[in-house]
């Protein structure tokens, strides 16, 4: 899987396009966090599904509460049908459409006349038949359910959420400059686990706006915002800011 993913920076985009061109009856049950993962990796391709995935991604960081925009623990990437997956597309398809009807598969065995008769696909472990909710309960809050420490998954760790509250103005007869600021950063660990840490206003990305002049000659500043940034699989930068 990792070798194949490394072969081209377009793999994620192709996988996203192929998944979201799947039959509509399967598409109705797609997993939004798997969709976010794929669409983010592919640079948010234009499609109805990626538009919904992006809207969910942004809605989660729009107060209140502020949630992790990608909840990778809700995308069971470890799910797989019987047989070795031939591509990342197969694994992501199975995870994305976890609630959909299992596809049919042919297993060459026995008499030639019946060898290609389709039978319901099964999980690799014949004793493991979880529903989607069971999978979510199993991995929720623990990061991804497969090893994503490889650099090909850096696009997951590139996501950062900035919760900003900054005020600055002159007050009183002496026009004394008063200012206050609070900044925290939400980011992802090696395995996709999400955490918050305190930061300074000077840690804000250059693309953030609304705090220009803070700490300087005291121009008026009143910024309450959420800023989220990311890089796709190929390293292309993207961001969104919501002021409120």
Interval 99-128: pLDDT, tens: 544 444 444 455 555 544 554 444 445 555
Distance in angstroms between the alpha carbons of the first and the last residue of the chain: 42
pLDDT in tens, 143-200: 777 788 888 899 999 999 999 999 999 988 888 999 999 999 999 999 899 999 999 9
Other beta carbons within 10 Å of 52: 16
Q: Residue 191: which residues within 8 A CB-CB, separation 6 or more?
A: 142, 143, 144, 147, 148, 149
The tokens of 14 are what?
């192709």
226 DSSP β-pair partners: 163, 242
H-helix or E-strand containing 15? helix 11-20
> Taking a C-beta distance cutoff of 8 angstroms, is the pair 185, 199 a contact?
yes
pLDDT in tens, 77-90: 765 444 454 454 45
- Which residue is associated with the tokens 């950063």? 185
> Taking a C-beta distance cutoff of 8 angstroms, is the pair 222, 167 a contact?
yes
Domain ranges of the chain: 2-146, 155-243
Instruction: Specify the 3-state DSSP secondary structure of 26.
Output: helix
Q: Residue 237: which residues within 8 A CB-CB, separation 6 or more?
A: 229, 230, 231
* Position 64 confidence tier, pLDDT thresholds 50, 70, 90: confident
Claim: this prediction has a pTM higher than 0.85: no
């Amino acid at each position: 899987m990792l070798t194949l993913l490394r072969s081209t920076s377009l793999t994620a985009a192709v996988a996203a396009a192929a998944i979201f061109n799947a039959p509509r009856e399967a598409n109705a049950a797609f997993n939004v966090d798997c969709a976010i993962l794929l669409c983010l990796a592919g640079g948010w391709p234009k499609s109805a599904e990626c538009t919904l995935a992006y809207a969910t991604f942004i809605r989660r960081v729009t107060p209140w509460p502020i949630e992790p925009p990608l909840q990778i623990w809700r995308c069971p990437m470890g799910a797989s049908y019987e047989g070795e997956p031939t591509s990342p597309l197969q694994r992501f398809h199975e995870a994305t459409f976890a609630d959909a009807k299992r596809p049919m598969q042919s297993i060459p065995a026995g008499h030639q006349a019946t060898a290609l008769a389709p039978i319901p696909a099964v999980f690799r472990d014949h004793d493991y038949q979880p529903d989607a909710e069971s999978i979510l309960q199993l991995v929720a809050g623990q990061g991804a359910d497969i090893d994503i420490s490889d650099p090909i998954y850096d696009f997951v760790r590139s996501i950062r959420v900035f919760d900003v509250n900054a005020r600055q103005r002159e007050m009183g007869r002496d026009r004394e400059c008063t200012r206050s600021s609070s900044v925290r950063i939400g980011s992802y660990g090696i395995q996709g686990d999400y955490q918050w840490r305190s930061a300074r206003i000077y840690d804000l990305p250059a693309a953030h706006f609304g705090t220009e002049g803070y700490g300087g000659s005291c121009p008026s500043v009143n910024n309450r915002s959420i800023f989220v940034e990311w890089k796709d699989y190929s390293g292309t930068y993207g961001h969104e800011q919501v002021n409120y």
